[in-house]
A = this chain, B = another copy of it.
Amino acid sequence: MVDSAEKQRGYEAQLRDAGVRMTRPRRAILKILAETADHPDAMEIFRRAVALDDSISLSTVYRTMKLLEDKGAIQRHAFAGGPSRFEQADGAHHDHLIDIDTGNVIEFQSDRIEELQNEIAKSLGYDIVHHRLELYGRKRRKR
């Protein structure tokens, strides 16, 4: 298992180098992101953050998420219907399979699909800036 404390230090260093001030709320949020393996939304991050620093405010969470997104430290996913959910941007690119019944998110990746996307965009005269591929599914009943 990866050392999340170390990961957090990495985050902080990276951001400080980018000229970002290291404040108490930001440290709390980075800690949460470094430790988390799921895709929490702003409210969930806020809840976890309050446990570390009870003076933190929801707006700061939102502002920080935007900042981290701009700096490329996290990725924002706007799944159908609900609020934006976030994840660290350190891993490789992947898409999502969302369990309709539980809201669980499973990550997957397919080079072949990416290739096809590029071909399609190209044939339409476009360059892809980013894309969104989400499968909404239900666990296959045991047969």
Contact = CB atoms under 8 A, between A and B. Distances in A.
Counting every copy of the chain, the complex holds 2
A125 to B, nearest CB: 5
Given A78-B80, A113-B113, A116-B110, A127 B136 contact: no
A11 B116 CA distance: 35
A81 B122 CA distance: 24
A120 to B, nearest CB: 6
17 contacts: A97-B121, A99-B126, A100-B129, A106-B124, A108-B124, A110-B120, A113-B116, A113-B117, A117-B133, A117-B135, A120-B135, A125-B139, A127-B138, A128-B136, A129-B136, A131-B135, A132-B134
Interface of A: 78, 80-81, 97, 99-100, 106, 108, 110, 112-113, 116-117, 120-122, 124-140
Nearest 6 interchain pairs by C-beta: A126-B137, A132-B134, A128-B137, A131-B135, A133-B133, A130-B136
